[in-house]
């Protein structure tokens, strides 16, 4: 058994407790992903798991389509199913690297969802992680960013696994050379116009200055260890303190929240705000730090209101961000904003526009509540006057907060 085979199997040990029958691997045709594909094929074959290789053709280079076909042939040679996923549509002229990466992940995860494949293998290795460290350090990232890529991460419900994360590039090249496996060199990987390539080219210089890659790997490992501990603390605080109401808002007891360490407060809200706002855009760390320092009575961040009211911190979606009213067809489930609604009569759903003076919650919180009216405009959910509640009407509202994965 080779060195890389041993490392690969060790890194994927956590998956063996899962009832996995299918797994996918992203293969660009470069050295890293081909090495990963060959290791994955051996690993999956022994365990009776169906492996599918996926190649994304971004359409950014004229040779990309031919290279994707070459990868397909290589995969067929070792008995691995292969699919080419094409990025269709107008291509960006700015932030190309960032937008191509996002498109790639979306194509890969969408395919896995469609085919019920729970795990996607990615070929990031030790040098990639070091480059990521410098990329994020240059942007004043927090610990989560500086800890680099994680061995396992969930995105859109798919587990992203990086079993080569601690493997040196030289070991990958040795593996392929010994097996006489040819790989494709992407010229874009040498173009310093791309930020990652720029930092890749600086690493030899930094090494001469004393920033030994081996020591950097150890630092990243220690940062990941600290990140894991803080994540566990955040999970505990979220479980014990956060109450998510079915009407679409969250509340946290302020005395307990204010006693949390600053870092846990930041992490808790960084997780909660996208859930309530339904926005996948990362929360601004700088803005959140300012809010927690100044403690305003009310403010907005990430499409949400943050409201300190009496002894409670409320997080509610901004009313201006709520969608327009939608017609409800009777006895049919309807998706509206972050809610799934069923009503036994036809009607309309919209956010609350009239303040309920009997409700103890702040008006800014009430404005994000879903309100259902019948064809005559009579409010049937919620029933402000329960004596007038029609007995024949059945209403079910499920709050489905956005899950980042």
Mean pLDDT of 224-248: 94
Across the strands, what pairs with 85?
56
Could you report the per-residue pLDDT of 119-149, keeping only the tens digit for each?
999 999 988 888 888 888 878 788 888 888 8
Q: Residues 6 or more apart from 112 whose CB is under 8 A from it? A: 24, 118, 120, 158
**The CATH classification of domain 3-223, taken from the options 3.50.50.60, 3.10.180.10, 3.40.190.10, 3.40.50.620:** 3.40.50.620
Cite the residue boundaries of each domain of the chain with CATH code 3.30.465: 236-319
From residue 213, alpha-carbon distances to 33, 134, 201, 313 in Å are: 21, 12, 13, 44
**Topology at the third CATH level for domain 236-319:** 3.30.465
CB atoms within 10 A of CB 57: 20
Cite the residue boundaries of each domain of the chain with CATH code 3.40.50.620: 3-223
Which residue in 158, 165, 56, 164 sits closest to 102, CA to CA? 56
Q: What does pLDDT average to over the chain?
A: 88
Whether the model clears a pTM of 0.85, i.e. scores above it, the answer is no
DSSP for 323-336, written as a single string: PPPEEE-TTEEEEE
From residue 365, alpha-carbon distances to 174, 249, 273, 360, 368 in Å are: 60, 7, 14, 10, 6
Is the pLDDT reported for residue 175 higher than 70? yes
pLDDT of residue 395: 84
Could you report the per-residue pLDDT of 342-351, keeping only the tens digit for each?
988 898 999 9
pLDDT of residue 192: 65
Task: Determine the length of the chain.
Answer: 405
Residue with tokens 């919209």: 350
Q: pLDDT band at residue 404, thresholds of 50, 70 and 90?
A: very low
Could you report the per-residue pLDDT of 31-75, keeping only the tens digit for each?
999 999 999 999 999 999 999 999 999 877 788 888 899 999 999
Which residue in 187, 233, 215 sits closest to 130, CA to CA? 215
pLDDT of residue 405: 32
More confident position, 385 or 20: 20
Degrees, nearest 5: CA angle 111-23-59: 40
pLDDT of residue 279: 82
């Amino acid at each position: 058994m080779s060195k890389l085979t041993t490392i690969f199997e060790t890194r994927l040990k956590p998956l063996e407790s899962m009832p996995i029958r299918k797994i996918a691997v992203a293969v660009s045709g470069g050295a890293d992903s081909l090495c990963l594909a060959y290791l994955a094929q051996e690993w999956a074959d022994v365990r009776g798991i169906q492996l599918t290789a996926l190649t994304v053709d971004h359409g950014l280079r004229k040779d990309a389509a031919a290279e994707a076909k070459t990868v397909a042939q290589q995969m067929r040679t070792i008995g691995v199913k292969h699919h080419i996923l094409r990025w269709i549509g107008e291509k960006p002229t700015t932030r190309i690297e960032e937008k191509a990466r996002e498109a790639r992940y979306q194509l890969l995860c969408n395919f896995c969802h469609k085919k019920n494949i729970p795990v996607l293998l990615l070929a990031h290795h030790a040098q990639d992680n070091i480059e990521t460290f410098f990329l994020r350090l240059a942007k004043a990232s927090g610990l989560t960013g500086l800890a680099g890529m994680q061995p396992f991460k969930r995105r859109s419900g798919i587990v992203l696994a990086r079993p080569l994360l601690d493997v040196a590039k030289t070991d990958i090249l040795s593996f392929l050379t010994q097996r006489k496996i040819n790989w494709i060199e992407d010229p874009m990987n040498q173009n310093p116009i791309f930020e990652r390539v720029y930092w890749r080219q600086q690493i030899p210089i930094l090494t001469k200055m004393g920033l030994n890659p081996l020591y950097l790997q150890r630092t990243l490992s220690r940062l990941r260890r600290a990140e894991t501990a803080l994540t566990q603390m955040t999970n505990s605080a979220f479980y014990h303190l956060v109450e998510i109401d079915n009407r679409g808002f969250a509340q946290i007891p302020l005395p307990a929240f204010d006693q949390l360490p600053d870092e846990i407060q930041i992490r808790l809200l960084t997780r909660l705000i996208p859930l309530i706002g339904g926005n996948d855009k990362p929360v601004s760390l700088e803005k959140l730090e300012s809010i927690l320092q100044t403690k305003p009575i009310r403010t907005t961040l990430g499409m949400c209101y943050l409201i300190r009211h009496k002894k409670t911190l409320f997080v509610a979606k901004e009313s201006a961000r709520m969608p327009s009213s939608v017609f409800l067809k009777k006895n049919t489930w309807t998706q509206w904003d972050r809610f799934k609604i069923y009503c036994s009569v036809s009607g309309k759903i919209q956010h609350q526009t009239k303040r309920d003076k009997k409700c103890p919650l702040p008006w800014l919180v009430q404005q994000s509540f879903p309100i259902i009216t019948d064809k005559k405009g009579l409010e049937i959910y919620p029933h402000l006057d329960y004596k007038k509640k029609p007995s024949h009407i059945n209403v079910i509202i499920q709050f489905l907060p956005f899950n980042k994965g």
